[in-house]
Chains A and B, each alone.
Chain A
Amino acid sequence: DSGVTQTPKHLITATGQRVTLRCSPRSGDLSVYWYQQSLDQGLQFLIQYYNGEERAKGNILERFSAQQFPDLHSELNLSSLELGDSALYFCASSQRGTEGTEAFFGQGTRLTVV
């Protein structure tokens, strides 16, 4: 168990809908990262937050947004969902987010858009 908790584990929704994925980082970790894993794209970095502030942005669509709350949990919001958004979404956390710190991953949320 990595200590990173993601909910829900599975999500099935229809095209055009909006969903929210939730992540609780390991105790003491200030940085949270979101990744998307799909068969054709591999593991893609979406966005990073550090202590409530956006720190880095990757291949995140405009239909997607995220935030990190004062208690350090994070939510990833996906809207106007398309079939191609079906993927495994991972949250990871680390103490800081720079230098050589490794990140610890949650078990992921499997999103299926039908």
Chain B
Amino acid sequence: AQSVAQPEDQVNVAEGNPLTVKCTYSVSGNPYLFWYVQYPNRGLQFLLKYITGDNLVKGSYGFEAEFNKSQTSFHLKKPSALVSDSALYFCAVRGPTDSWGKLQFGAGTQVVVTP
């Protein structure tokens, strides 16, 4: 069975500092990995995905994520955080032959960026 873990409930970072949100996964075969962000009272917004190819994936709003197969991780990063990046971040994973319905979301990580 596939699973995804976001080990930190909350990440606190000062504006201008690098931001990292951690995600590890377990899936049979090569994974399809996604990051979504949820602002208060809003739906989830797609940030980026890894399907195949380059391990470093660039996404929206200056975010990027690094796929590490040996460590089964897909950490989200931003070189310089903004106060407006404060939100709830979700990592999600599924297997290559699974339909979207098998997508497993992590519990989410609350990011707080202080001025």
Q: Could you tell me which A residues sit within 8 Å of B by CB distance?
A: 2, 4, 31, 33, 42-43, 45, 47-48, 55-58, 90, 92, 94, 97-108
Contacts and interface: CB of A to CB of B under 8 A. Distances in A.
Given A42-B105, A42-B108, A100-B32, A4 B43 contact: yes
23 contacts: A2-B43, A42-B105, A42-B107, A42-B108, A43-B44, A45-B101, A45-B103, A47-B101, A48-B100, A56-B99, A56-B102, A90-B43, A90-B44, A92-B43, A94-B100, A101-B100, A102-B46, A102-B49, A103-B46, A105-B43, A105-B45, A105-B46, A107-B43
A56 B43 CA distance: 21
Specify the main secondary structure of chain B where it touches its partner: mixed
Contacts, number: 61
Interface size on B, as a range, is: 20 to 34
